A = this chain, B = another copy of it.
Amino acid sequence: MKTPSRRKFIASAAGLAAVTTLSPATAMVAEEKVIAHQVYFWLKNPASSEDRAQLIRGLKTLQKIESVRKLLIGVVAATDKRPVVDDSWGVSALTLFSDIAGEAAYQVHPIHLAFVKDYSHLWSKVVVYDSSEV
């Protein structure tokens, strides 16, 4: 019994070693080029923390869309305000995709369409920047 069990373990371990040496998950993520879809929302009621929380809750639903590799939701950071810093917005959402097709699928996905339908009354303006990693 011992020998096959150990052999199996060694084979499995060798597989892990190969993965670790040749392509750790972090290195794979870092090396794959992404499409970044960055959205800034200006709230209709910028003073309403409830509206802001509601929009953030809505944005979190987008995480379930299959082509979303990473979703990073933010608010204005307390960094030093140089003149070039735009801090007039209320909520940001950075979504990473593996490719243009993933971003296109996201745009027409039922979860995304439901998000726009259910939460767009909260914002007065949206600006989108879509970038392709070089």
Which residues on A are within 8 Å of B, measured CB to CB?
A: 6, 9-10, 12-14, 16-17, 20, 24-26, 29-30, 34-38, 40, 56, 70, 72-80, 82, 84-87, 89, 92, 94, 100, 103-104, 107, 126-134
Contacts and interface: CB of A to CB of B under 8 A. Distances in A.
Per assembly, the copies of the chain total 2
19 contacts: A9-B10, A9-B13, A12-B17, A16-B17, A25-B25, A26-B29, A35-B77, A35-B79, A36-B74, A36-B77, A36-B94, A40-B129, A72-B131, A74-B131, A74-B134, A78-B132, A84-B128, A85-B128, A92-B131
A134 B60 CA distance: 10
Given A9-B10, A73-B133, 8 more contacts: A9-B13, A13-B14, A30-B70, A77-B130, A77-B131, A79-B103, A85-B129, A86-B128
A20 B40 CA distance: 36
Contacts of A76: 130-132
Closest 4 pairs (CB-CB, A-B): A13-B13, A74-B131, A77-B132, A77-B130
Given A80-B104, A132-B75, A132-B78, A20 B16 contact: yes
